[in-house]
A and B are shown apart, each in its own frame.
Chain A
Amino acid sequence: MKYASIKEIINEAKKNGVRISELVKISQSKEHNVSVDELCAKMKKTYEVMNESIETGLSKKSNLKIEQNDASKIYKKYVDDGKSIFGSKVGEAVAMAMAVSEVNAGMGKIVAAPTAGSCGIIPAAIVTIKNIYGISEEKVIDSLFTASAIGMVISNVMDIAGASGGCQAECGVAQSMAAAAIVDMLDGDYEQIANAVAISLKNIEGLVCDPVAGLVECPCIKRNASGVINSILAADMALAGVVSIIPVDEVIQSVKQVGDIMDDRLKETAMGGLAMTETGKICTFN
């Protein structure tokens, strides 16, 4: 399979009467000459590293250069005390996304999903939904294959890198993959997956990559927090039957176009946006 478009994947899955995750497993198995069991075992390992990075980020301080260790602050005090505005589930999702992102910033071990800068979004999304609905590990792992199908299509359209397309090409892609995973975990249909991807991408389209002092800390860690919420929002809307007027593959094309138009100063060079604010400019580190 070429992963040329979401439409192609959905048509192929429909034709074979399988879920997108199943289609990905079968096609990957053929392409790389490995068994489906091996693929699932490797994805399970990946999922375990995601969980470890959540645990590490919530329990230990990461060696951050300019940001604080906020994940544990949100998790231990605010959420536990029942203060989070939308309730503990939203607070936990935010804390988990920031936890992984902080581990990453401190040069700890994470899973790039699809990149390191956006590594908190998918783990926080799937673990949140797993915890709320008591979903089996097997199904969670399957949802990662569904998410990867979305990522593979997008990476065929554009480079998944802030240096090429801004934050929309990292956190944006992560959110769309997470949205697809959530809809899949909650047994949404093909079109709902497509709409969740489209909606999440539209919500973040145009976001620039403007890291203060060139670090993957500010605003990256907080953008992982907003990212997990946007993925849940998009999945929720799609599951409720909301349709994206612009079809998903056209949304992806437009994200690429916006990335191409974007000024280089806003593509991970730390020469624009927040990086060049009065305070951003004086943020230094050793």
Chain B
Amino acid sequence: MDVFDIIGPIMVGPSSSHTAGACRIGKYARGILSEEPMNAVIKLSGSFKQTYKGHGTDKAIIAGLLGFNEDDERIRESIEIAKKEGRNFTILEEDIENTHANTAEIIMTKANGEKVVIQGSSIGGGNILITKINDAKVNINGLFDVLVVGHVDIPGMVYKITKVLYQWKININGLSLHREEKSGNAVAIIEVDDKIDDKLCDEMREVENVKYVTLLRSLK
């Protein structure tokens, strides 16, 4: 635990869970997309749905998608900024079953038409939990660097992927695997203790049957 999670963050009001946490969820979604988000549908559920107008939750998530931090006073004008930049962001009020009270789902459409979906909850004091990336159920708190490694579901892939991390002396603190079907597309979501170098990602991309590598920087 971090003392500055409790006395902090330094942020733009009015709500750590509904504004700062929401901004962080948006920023995390931006990182996962790994290109400028131009089109997104943002579903607000539970308490987010009930009170987003008063808490600026919509402004905060959009600010996050624009890459703003939670202490950036431009959060107030994020909707206008997004419009001016020709981005198409839509807010939907829609409950998502079996989720935390403050939950948002962000469905982003890439330039090539591909959709990327993330679900995140704001669990208090600005802290967040990313619970879904596309079809994969995850548990990412944004405190650590995370590697998302898309690969083919064949024997030896975990060995090959973790071998690269071992060579860079990176300690893994969480690892989960998801696949669409046997021998089909799979994804490894790896949380690590140490900062990841971009060169490590390049090396990982060279591994046979690795399809893509996305590095999600910690929010710290």
Partners in one complex: yes
Report if A115 contacts B (CB, 8 A).
yes
Residues of A25-43 whose CB lies within 8 A of B: 28, 31-32, 39, 42-43
B6 & A104 in contact (Cβ 8 Å cutoff): no
Q: Given A109-B10, A112-B11, A112-B20, do A156 and B1 touch, yes or no (CB 8 Å)?
A: yes
Inter-chain CA distance A270–B57, complex, in Å, is 15
Rounded to whole Å, the gap between the CB of B139 and the closest CB of chain A is: 16
Q: What 1/0 flags go to B18-50 for Cβ under 8 Å of A?
A: 011000000000000000000000000011001
A105 & B10 in contact (Cβ 8 Å cutoff): no
B124 & A216 in contact (Cβ 8 Å cutoff): no
Report if A196 contacts B (CB, 8 A).
no
Rounded to whole Å, the gap between the CB of A211 and the closest CB of chain B is: 7
Residues of B36-81 whose CB lies within 8 A of A: 46-47, 50-56, 71, 73, 75-76
Inter-chain CA distance A43–B14, complex, in Å, is 21
Report if A215 contacts B (CB, 8 A).
yes
B124 & A115 in contact (Cβ 8 Å cutoff): yes
Report if A65 contacts B (CB, 8 A).
yes
Report if B174 contacts A (CB, 8 A).
no
8 Å CB contact of B11 from A110, A215, A217, A270: A110
A211 & B101 in contact (Cβ 8 Å cutoff): no
Report if A10 contacts B (CB, 8 A).
no
Inter-chain CA distance A285–B53, complex, in Å, is 9
8 Å CB contact of B12 from A32, A109, A163, A214: A109
**Chain A positions near chain B (C-beta within 8 angstroms):** 3, 24, 28, 31-32, 39, 42-43, 45-46, 49, 65, 103-117, 119, 122, 144-145, 147-148, 151-152, 155-156, 159-164, 169, 177, 211, 213-217, 264, 267-271, 285
**Chain B positions near chain A (C-beta within 8 angstroms):** 1-17, 19-20, 46-47, 50-56, 71, 73, 75-76, 101-102, 122-126
